[in-house]
Copies of this chain bind each other. A is one copy, B any other.
Amino acid sequence: VLAALLGLGAVLAYGERRRRAAQATPAPRYPVYTREEVRRHRTPADRVWVTHGTEVFDVTDFVELHPGGADKVLLAAGGALEPFWALYAVHSQPHVLELLREYKVGDLSPSEAPPSPDGTQDPFAGDPPRHPALRVNSLKPFNAEPPAELLTERFLTPNELFFTRNHLPVPAVDAGAYRLHVEGPGGRALSLSLPELRGRFPKHEVTATLQCAGNRRTEMSRVRPVKGLPWDIGAISTARWGGARLRDVLLHAGFGERREGEWHVCFEGLDADAGGAPYGASIPYGRAVSPVADVLLAYEMNGEELPRDHGFPVRVVVPGVVGARSVKWLRRVAVSPAESPSHWQQNDYKGFCPSVDWDTVDYRTAPAIQELPVQSAITQPRPGAAVPPGELTVKGYAWSGGGREVVRVDVSLDGGHTWQAAELAGERAAPGRAWAWVLWELRAPAVEAGTELEIVCKAVDASYNVQPDTVAPIWNLRGVLSNAWHRVRVTVS
C-alpha cells in the first residue's frame, strides 16, 4: 500500500515539475565534477548524487518519492543510473528523463577517463565489468551477491545481479576455438565444439536456483570466527538455464544408464591457479545420467548466452546441488571411479561437528556436500529497519536441495513463539524436481508503534525437513551450510 501511495505521489510530482520545466529559462552552465567527487554523495546526509550519461544529478529530494522505494534508488547513489535502469524497463519513458533533468547539478569532467588498465601483471585484469549494485565480498577473485533489496524483486534473478562465486580469475575464452572434452575409462573420448554441443543435442531448459555453500555465513561467523567469504543472505539466485543435458552427452559418448559400483562425473574449468591447476568438482554418476535430475551443460542463462562471470561459453548446472559442483568455463567432463581430486572436492565444501577445529579437521571423515538442506531468509524488511505501524509485509525466499519442493514457510513476529504460514509463489514443478526457489510473503496484521519485532522465518520441504532453530549447534569451521531460522529485528515507529 505504501509503495502504491508513493507511486501516486511521484506521478503527481512528475506533472508539477513538467509544468515548471516548461516555464524555465534556458539551461545554465553547470559546474564540472569527477566520478570520484560524485561517489562521495551516497547518503541523504551527504546528498545523493547520480550520473546519467555525462550529467550529474542531486536526487536527494526524490529519494523518498521513488515509486520503487527509497532503498532501491539508494543502490545507485554515487554512481551511474544506467545499469539499474537497464534492469527495470519502467525507466525507459521520456518523462523519467525529464523528471531527472530537474535535479541536474553538474556535468562530468570531460577529462574523466575510465580507470587505467595498468594491471598487466594482475591475473584478474581481464575480469569482466560488473553491475554496481552487487555487494562485493572479494574483488580478486570476484565474489559478490545481489543486495537483499533486489533479491526477491523478481522470480528470475537478472543475469547482471546473479550472485557470482569465482575461485580464480575469469578465463578469456575464444568461443570459436572452444572444445569440450568428454572422457572416460578405457580411452573413450569425445571432443565437442560449441556448434556441435548446440547442434547435436536437444536444447533442454530448466529453471534452477544455485546457492553457495557459504550463503548466510556472516551469521555463523558471529558465533565464532570461520574461514570464508562474508556472504550475507544473497549467495543464492535463480535463472532459466538452457543447454544440452549431461545425460544426453554421456550416452552419446557411449556411457550407459547405469554403472556397477560407485562412479562419478568429474568436471574441470578453464579457470586455473598460478600453477595451472584448474577448478574442479564432481557429482555421482547416477545423478549425472538420471533422466529426471536435469543436469545441464548450459550455454544460456535467462535466454542470453552465458555472461563471462557465469561461465561463458559453457558451464555445468546441477539443480538441487551446492553451487560449487556447477563448474563454470567447462573444459573437461570425465567419468571416473573416484570423486574429483580437486582441492574443492576433497578438502573443502564439507560439514563438520562444531567441536572440530583446524587442528583436528580430517576432511576424509565427511562426505562432499552435494544436496543442500532446506533454507529460507527474509529479504524485507531489512535488519534494523524502522517500519511504520499498521499492516506489515514480510518477504523472502525459500529453497531446498535435491528437488524437494518447499511446502510451507512459517513466519513469526515474536522471535519464534507464534507462527503463521506465508503465501508461496513460484513455478509449478514435477514432484521431486522442484529446482527453483519459492518467493513468499506474509501480510501481518497491524503492528503497533513503539514496539520491537523479531521477525523469524523457517521453511519445510517435501520431506518435511525443517531448518534448525539456532546457528551455534550447526557452526562449522568453514562456515558452510548456515541454514538456521533467519531472524530480522525491526522497530515499529
**A369 part of interface (Cβ distance < 8 Å):** yes
**A195 part of interface (Cβ distance < 8 Å):** no
When the two chains form the complex, which single residue of B416, B464, B468, B469 contacts A351, counting CB atoms closer than 8 Å? B464
Contact B468 A481 (CB under 8 A): no
Copies in the complex: 2
Bound complex: CA A371 to CA B405 (Å): 12
Contact A353 B464 (CB under 8 A): no
Contact A370 B465 (CB under 8 A): no
CB distance from A61 to the nearest CB of B (A): 44
CB distance from A133 to the nearest CB of B (A): 31
**A418 part of interface (Cβ distance < 8 Å):** yes
| A323-374 CB contacts (< 8 Å) to partner B | 351, 353-356, 366-367, 369-374
Bound complex: CA A262 to CA B416 (Å): 36
CB distance from A295 to the nearest CB of B (A): 15
Interface size class of A (residues with CB under 8 A): 35 or more
When the two chains form the complex, which single residue of B405, B408, B430, B465 contacts A353, counting CB atoms closer than 8 Å? B408
Q: Which of A95-103, A241-249, A301-309, A455-463 contacts B (4 or more CB under 8 A)?
A: A455-463
Bound complex: CA A470 to CA B467 (Å): 11
Convert A460-485 into 0s and 1s, putting 1 for each residue whose CB lies closer than 8 angstroms to a CB of B. Answer: 10111111111001100000010000
When the two chains form the complex, which single residue of B292, B467, B473 contacts A419, counting CB atoms closer than 8 Å? B473
Bound complex: CA A354 to CA B481 (Å): 25
Contact A466 B474 (CB under 8 A): yes
Contact A465 B465 (CB under 8 A): yes
**A431 part of interface (Cβ distance < 8 Å):** yes
**A393 part of interface (Cβ distance < 8 Å):** no
When the two chains form the complex, which single residue of B262, B374, B410 contacts A465, counting CB atoms closer than 8 Å? B374
| A261-302 CB contacts (< 8 Å) to partner B | 262, 284, 286, 291-292
Helix, strand, loop or mixed for chain A's interface? loop
Bound complex: CA A135 to CA B282 (Å): 47
Known contacts A354-B419, A431-B262, A473-B416; A373 and B467 CB within 8 A of each other: no
Known contacts A408-B353, A431-B286; A473 and B460 CB within 8 A of each other: no
Chain B residues, CB < 8 A from A388: none
Contact A418 B370 (CB under 8 A): no
Bound complex: CA A105 to CA B410 (Å): 62
Contact A408 B366 (CB under 8 A): yes
Convert A199-242 into 0s and 1s, putting 1 for each residue whose CB lies closer than 8 angstroms to a CB of B. Answer: 00000000000000000000000000000000000000000000
What residues make up the interface of A, taking CB atoms closer than 8 Å to B? 258, 262, 284, 286, 291-292, 351, 353-356, 366-367, 369-374, 401-402, 404-405, 407-408, 410, 416, 418-421, 430-432, 458, 460, 462-470, 473-474, 481
3 residue pairs, one from A and one from B, having the closest CB atoms: A469-B469, A371-B463, A373-B465
Query: Can you list 9 contacts pairing A with B, beta carbon distance less than 8 Å?
Result: A286-B431, A286-B432, A353-B408, A355-B418, A367-B407, A371-B462, A373-B465, A410-B473, A468-B468
Given A258-B291, A466-B474, output 20 extra A-B contacts at Cβ < 8 Å.
A351-B408, A353-B408, A354-B418, A356-B421, A366-B407, A366-B408, A367-B405, A370-B463, A371-B404, A371-B462, A410-B473, A416-B473, A419-B473, A458-B473, A464-B481, A465-B465, A466-B473, A467-B468, A468-B468, A468-B469
